[in-house]
Structure 1
């Protein structure tokens, strides 16, 4: 009887220890998830906290007198006069009307720096398109200088240093009181390419460049990857050569992306003489990098098709090609598409291989074709983040938010396709 009690006590103690271990393991798992979620929340909070102001622009609205005498301009249709005219003078005069008492030239130069350098170009383009406006007074809205914009949006944030003089700060505060300086949604950010001034820089050129590059990548990587997966899984004989190919495909999936950049630099640019910084070359390099991922995911999707499907089709007299093309591939296509979209989302965030093929250039114009000079979203973010201007820091964070939106959308699309198209057997 005593032995039975001692055995039961041993069992109870053993169960208690096991349950304690299970609770500790569960607690460790929950703590790990909490740490990961906390890090994710901190990351997103930091990005959004720095980037949301990138979607806000600061403008100055002025009543500009298009005085030909002040601009040394008699005929706006004369290209020589347009090239020699002083289009900053109307801006300085308009600011002087709002802020009286600015007489000496040094003060006027400081006053003119409240408006971005593209303000003069705005007046020039207006007179070039509508010469009849010479001599009239027009209400015009200009983008404020990026230093003014940083001050208006971050005056209470000690992490942003104000690079305005005390006199300029006094003028800006006065213009804010008068309602001449306002903030609004930054449509310029979505309508233009890169610029030397943060207030005029936009993300549209990088978005178009990314879309063109991804189009080339998809057009090459998806059909080649699916065809390779179908051949290796359904038609290739099982021998040492096939095993060698499979091992190398798995190894290529783990190769650092910069190696593919070196390959693209040596082959596409060095050997074939293709131009740098164009979506075609970028797409070819990214396609090489994405191929192993697509092949592996496509083979997994083909393996998931039950053997009974093949056997039933063969029993009805279908050839090997008919079995594969009419039954196996259509049933495996949802998995193939899911893997391809995930691979494309990964490729969208790649920077290193594109830096090596020259897609780090300063691109102002929006690319209009696959052979136009272009950059992509990750490279554009890298360029802005490495800039010393504080205005570019918020643009880099805003660009990260857009890039994350694209990547989350692509992953959500992959999940939706998998749920929508998958079949259970």
Structure 2
């Protein structure tokens, strides 16, 4: 009995094993990829099977693409900018239109002369320059013995040009120098002004002017009161490949940032370092004194070549008072007039130069990145007379 039981059990076991083998014979095994350490996995191909086949697909890892270098902008050449902007100035100004309207009346009466004088005063030329101009105009007309509008216009042009003073040195002092230690140093430009004049934007546009002249430039973001100012300057610099030295914290000492910028520029061998500063009201003594400190600290690395005062042309005589205070504190060497288009206040050019004995060196005539141009006296006078 026992032998028969074992025979039956053995037969069942054989049948079960055979059936199991039959069931598994039609199932295709999926090859498993080898297990690799994490650091090696990204460097190896991944083995997989296409469903329903025995083929192995090898998927190579995607190559990491290096980020593309930003395309740098090439600023517009400086030569000819004033000529390009001349038409814009002529269209937007009312000084020239007003003067020509009076002159076109033919024989000038006393009332016409008074209207010319009023027009010049409203254009912010100033009382002194206007009185001188009127006296010379009347004298010239008497000498010529004519009231011909074109003849008077020619005289007006000559006298206005004399007031604007084409003989003033308007060149930017941006050539590198050599210190007392015999080591080269960059030219340094300190940019100052009150709030809202477009100072930081002007610094960015000035960098483009210098880059267009093939100069190596570095910017210093010494307006540490507004993080947005440093960010804005950084954006301007990136567009033309100009590095920016800035503080990593808001409210840092602006003099320290200016010092670091000039030091970095000296070590990098750049041609020009331009330092932006926070806008400040001319009646805030502490802030004005801070400008003097910034200039002194900068001078420890290299002499300050230029101190450019940015003025809003629309402020008129108020801008003139601002200019005087800044000139007393930091010895302004040049004026940058912004927003000159769209205003009849072009006479501020004459007034500020007469008051400070400092030339207007650059003018802003639009919002475009290259709408900053070296000031040209003849082009300016012709533009306002064409208006």
What range describes the TM-score normalised by the shorter chain of this pair?
under 0.3
Determine which structure has greater relative contact order: mean sequence separation of CA pairs < 8 Å that are 6+ residues apart, divided by chain length.
Answer: 2
Larger radius of gyration, structure 1 or 2?
2
Structure that is richer in strand per residue: 2
Per the normalisation by structure 2, the TM-score is: 0.25
